[in-house]
Chains A and B, each alone.
Chain A
């Protein structure tokens, strides 16, 4: 997912990746005593300060009624693990669109207690993204490596980047050995049953 599209409204309105990412939930706390809130197909009542999980697109619109909190993947504890050794963390397991969601959480429509926490979170994301990108480039250029073991740790944006780097390496190898002129079977061919 292109990170420059994350916070660019209305450019990201029709972006499917952004729509899927905005559906992931973040914890919120109600500011007031809320009645007849229909979140789970049954009207519910929420006391002031009660924790509610809302999808990101809804949480942005309900800033008047709820205070937002960082999901556990973006709290100080997880961020300190990410800062220490970003290459070993399995981001896909925690959040498939980790960096895009992190950038979305820094939106001004969300109301977190302290803006300094958002800045610290973004600084950790910046360092982690850069270090992981260098690690991904190293893995892509390594000759004998299990690609699936690398891919399973990456978030969706990193997977696209990794597959592009692998394709680039293949193109270079084919050119070096003079096999670019050979006609090959298309990858889009559907096998007949």
Chain B
């Protein structure tokens, strides 16, 4: 079962815009994904993360810390996550894991509270992934205890990011597939056994009509008598 790699998810996240202050002058750049610039020293603007990382590695920009990536906001988020044992809170950014990794690796000198932010991101990730794993475990448990619908079941994942869902994808999908195949087989056998039983019962019935046909006959007889 093919899954997307973490580096591929990061590649998709690199299209997000981030605020930078350039140290060079350049006219507006016309790219396929959009127009960026013009670049003037000391004038902040928003550019994609892939461009920001490239310019940062060449010393041409100062990358601004995203507003959601402050120690206070992350602490609040972690406290909200810890307060609810079952459901995940809506993330501060859909690509928080990927963006934080790129910025912490390439732009440490532009950030404040680096160590604290690293630890908070790691704690938030651990809490959210453990909630997701628990939900998956409960779903698989329900499938072996109860009947699975004919279409296999529809599941909705709320407030989890692509990176988090990808982390549990392989195991969860395998569990769903295996339980679906086996459950289908059980249903087939039970239906065939029931059909076989019904066929046996039908061949063993007497010659007198029974059920609805008998009541119809008696009603006809009664109406004849009345007439």
Residues of A121-168 at the interface with B, using a CB-CB cut-off of 8 Å, are 122-123, 125-127, 129-131, 133-134, 136-137, 161, 164-165, 168
Does A171 sit within 8 A of B, measured CB to CB?
A: yes
B1: chain A residues at CB < 8 Å are: 164
A180 within 8 A of B: yes
Stretch at the interface among B20-28, B55-63, B174-182, B212-220: B174-182
Indicate whether B5 reaches chain A with its CB closer than 8 angstroms: yes
B95 to chain A minimum Cβ distance, whole angstroms, is: 13
- B67 in the interface (beta carbon within 8 A): no
The A-contacting residues of B in range 191-205, CB under 8 angstroms, are 192-193
In the bound complex, residues from chain A placing their C-beta under 8 Å from that of B171 are 133, 136-137, 161, 165
How many angstroms between the C-alpha atoms of A7 and B189 in the bound complex? 13
Among listed B29-37, B72-80, B135-143, interface-contacting one: B135-143
Would B101 and A178 count as touching, CB distance under 8 A? Answer: yes
The answer to whether B189 touches A106 (Cβ under 8 A) is: yes
Q: A9 at interface (Cβ–Cβ under 8 A)?
A: no
Are B181 and A172 in touch, CB under 8 angstroms? no
A103 in contact with B190 (CB, 8 Å): no
Flag if A115 contacts B192 (CB, 8 Å): yes
User: For chain B, what secondary structure do more than half of its interface residues adopt (helix, strand, loop), or is it mixed?
Assistant: helix
Chain A residues lying within 8 Å of B185, measured Cβ to Cβ, are 7, 103, 106, 122
Nearest chain B residue, comparing its CB with the CB of A122: B186
A selection of 9 A-B contacts at a CB cut-off of 8 Å is A122-B182, A126-B182, A130-B143, A133-B171, A134-B140, A161-B174, A165-B171, A175-B5, A178-B105
Range of interface residues on chain B? Answer: 20 to 34
B6 touches A130 (CB 8 A): no
| A161 contacts across to B, CB distance below 8 A | 170-171, 174
**Which residues of the other chain, B, contact A172 by a CB distance below 8 angstroms?**
6, 167
A-B interface contact total, Cβ < 8 Å:
87
Which B residue's beta carbon lies closest to that of A167?
Answer: B170
Q: Residues of A contacting B141 with CB < 8 Å? A: 130
B182 touches A115 (CB 8 A): no
Q: Does B68 contact A (CB under 8 A)?
A: no
Top 7 nearest A-B pairs (CB, nearest first) are A175-B6, A126-B182, A137-B171, A180-B7, A115-B193, A127-B144, A130-B144
A164's nearest neighbour on chain B, judged by CB, is B170
Query: Are B189 and A118 in contact, CB atoms less than 8 angstroms apart?
Result: yes
User: Which residue, A127, A131, A137, has most C-beta atoms of chain B within 10 A?
Assistant: A137
Chain B residues closer than 8 Å to A164, beta-carbon distance: 1, 170
- Residue-wise, chain B 98-128 has the 8 Å CB interface mask toward A (1 for contact) of 0001000100000000000000000000000
Contacts of A129 in B (CB 8 A): 178-179, 182
Contact B175 A130 (CB under 8 A): yes
Asked if A3 is an interface residue, CB under 8 A from chain B, the answer is yes
User: Cα distance A118–B192 when bound, in Å?
Assistant: 12
In the assembled complex, B225 has its CB within 8 A of some CB on chain A: no
Complex alpha-carbon distance, A118 and B7, angstroms: 46
Residue of B nearest to A115 (CB): B193
Q: How far apart are the CA atoms of A87 and B186 in the complex, in Å?
A: 23
Closest to A3 in B: B181
A4 at interface by CB-CB < 8 Å: yes
Whether a CB of chain A sits under 8 angstroms from the CB of B3 is yes
Chain B residues with Cβ under 8 A from A119's Cβ?
186, 189-190, 193
Decide if A176 is an interface residue (CB 8 Å cutoff): yes
Shortest beta-carbon distance from B58 to chain A in Å = 17
